[in-house]
Structure 1
Amino acid sequence: MTYVIAQPCVDVKDLACVDECPVDCIYEGARALYIHPDECVDCGACEPVCPVEAIFYEDDLPEQWFDYLADNAAFFEATLPGRSEPLGSPAGAERLGALDVDAPLVAAQPRDEAT
């Protein structure tokens, strides 16, 4: 089980959850944030600090955002556009820094021009 960041984070990327995460498992994509399912220790520290309420425990993910569970995993397991291999488990988001790619579901969404 893990926490998942869903649609409300797309084009917002408030980094309060990143600052709160004790294990540095929240990675920054171009338009959204992603929680590494193997690095997350399920502490839940990220969930209450999210100002847009985009973070959910996997079992509590609303049905309309259930596809974000697979999309979140794809960010780490799939070869994303512009990369030659999957991200895998880099063991720390801060060391890696922000990436200019997103998982397929996020990347396919129209941009929110208001942000």
Structure 2
Amino acid sequence: MTYVVTESCIRCKYTDCVDVCPVDCFREGPNFLVIDPEECIDCTLCVAECPVEAIYAEDDVPDDQRDFIALNAELSRQWGPIVERKDALPDADDWAQRKDKLSELKR
């Protein structure tokens, strides 16, 4: 099992989770983070750190977010690692509670 970043992260990109990851499994895109399923060791540390509750165990991903399992795998092969915390996107707080943000994802 691996952990998965879901839609809540889009246009927020809080990186609190990156600081606690012992294996640097996060990958960074323009306005979203993903977890590399090949690197994730299922430690659960990132889950509690996410201020928008975007990270789930693969088995616990909500039904309407299941496509993010494949999306994390796909994008983790394209994007580079992020190993240090950075500032969230400038308007992250405005986007934090919005739903249906998949169309906002920049690849």
Do Structure 1 and Structure 2 share a fold, with TM-score over 0.5?
A: yes
- Would the alpha carbon gap of residues 47 and 30 (structure 1) be closer, same or farther in structure 2, given more than 3 Å must change? same
1:94 aligns with 2:83: yes
Q: How many angstroms does 1:22 deviate by?
A: 1.0
Percentage identity across paired residues of the two chains: 43
Radius of gyration: which is bigger?
A: 1
RMSD over equivalenced CA pairs, Å: 2.0
Letter of the aligned partner of 1:22 in structure 2? P
| Matched position secondary structure for 1:13 | coil
* Number of residue pairs the alignment of both structures matches: 88
d(CA) in 2 for partners of 1:25, 1:94:
8
C-alpha deviation, 1:44, in angstroms = 0.4
Partners of 1:70 and 1:12 lie apart in 2 by: 20
Provide the TM-score with structure 1 as the length reference: 0.69
Higher relative contact order (CA closer than 8 Å, sequence separation 6+): 2
Equivalent residue, structure 1, for 2:10: 10
* Alignment-derived partner of residue 42 in structure 2: 42
Q: CA distance change for structure 1 residues 53 and 38 in 2, over 3 Å: closer, same or farther?
A: same
Show CA shifts across 1:35-92 (max 9, x none).
0001000000000110000000000000010000011111134xxxxxxxx56xx7x5
Measured in 2, the distance between the counterparts of 1:44 and 1:3 equals: 8
